[in-house]
Amino acid sequence: MLVNSKAMLNKAKKENYAIPATNFIDLDSARTFVTVAEKLNKPLILPFAQAHKDLISLEEAALIGKYLADKVSVPVALHLDHGEDFAFIKQAIDLGFTSVMIDASKESLGNNIKLTKEVVAYAHQKKVSVEAELGHVGAGTNYENHETTDSIYTEVKDVEIFLKETRVDSLAVSIGTAHGAYKGTPVLNFERLQEISKICEVPLVLHGGSSSGTNNLNRCATSGISKINIFTDFLQAAYRKNKDGKPKDYLEMKQLANQAMAEVLESCYKVFATKDV
């Protein structure tokens, strides 16, 4: 069932759990994620990142997401992840994406507000929900969403101003995670999360969930985070499954990769304490 993300995230915020946002890069990964959600009777956010437009086109991603969502009974939001410019985000909305993210987190607060308001104005008239990022979640590698950058914590004083000015439906915050793969387990600033959660009326989002540690992610999911993005964990699990399984051909390789990604998502639903639909 294709829906926007607003209702499912508001429910998650109210009931203190998080919904996995599982970035897909092809039909196999998207189908695996939707199949697991249907099997477990869980909601799903199915994101496609602008940075992955050279792997499959935005048009292909829209067709895949809408087709798969319409085949299941659980709510699935087709989400544009890390939209970098208004033209691309508008195209995603016009193609049928039900949720979009404008990532102007590397801009000044004023420019971030300006760019986000432009997206919100267009998206809301199409009944599409909008996520923005305040602070900046950096990248540990350059193959997830953007080039390697350092993280900048979300400033509590900016949150109320940003929400009042933009009217976004959800807010991605930076509390110590990073995109991509990195060594060790990050130390998350739960004090900052608590401060933000107290004053934030909209659901909060955590990017860079991969490699962040199950205890950290469970605590986030039950302490104010309503959506957690996962991507690298799926890639690494698929790689390990193939390395250990020694597939005999390409078909078996794909089957092992799908199995590995399904196992990761099932684990995420448990760690994030995601409730049934």
CB 77 within 8 A of CB 97: no
Contact 100, 80 (CB under 8 A): yes
The 10 Å CB-count burial string (b at 16+, else e) for 176-188 is: bbbbbbbeeebeb
Residue type, 249: D
List CB contacts of 95: < 8 A, sequence separation 6 or more: 58, 59, 62
β-bridge partners, 136: 152
- Least Cα distance to 180 among 205, 152, 157, 212 occurs for 212
Q: For residues 65 and 248, give the distance between their C-alpha atoms in angstroms, rounded to a whole number.
A: 30
Which tokens sit at 144? 């997830």
Q: Strand 129-134 relative to strand 170-173: parallel, antiparallel, unpaired?
A: parallel
Task: Output phi, psi for 48, to 5 deg.
Answer: -125, 125
Burial class for 198, CB neighbours closer than 10 Å (0-12, 13-18, 19+): exposed
Beta-bridged to residue 133, according to DSSP, are 172
Which positions are annotated as active-site residues? 81
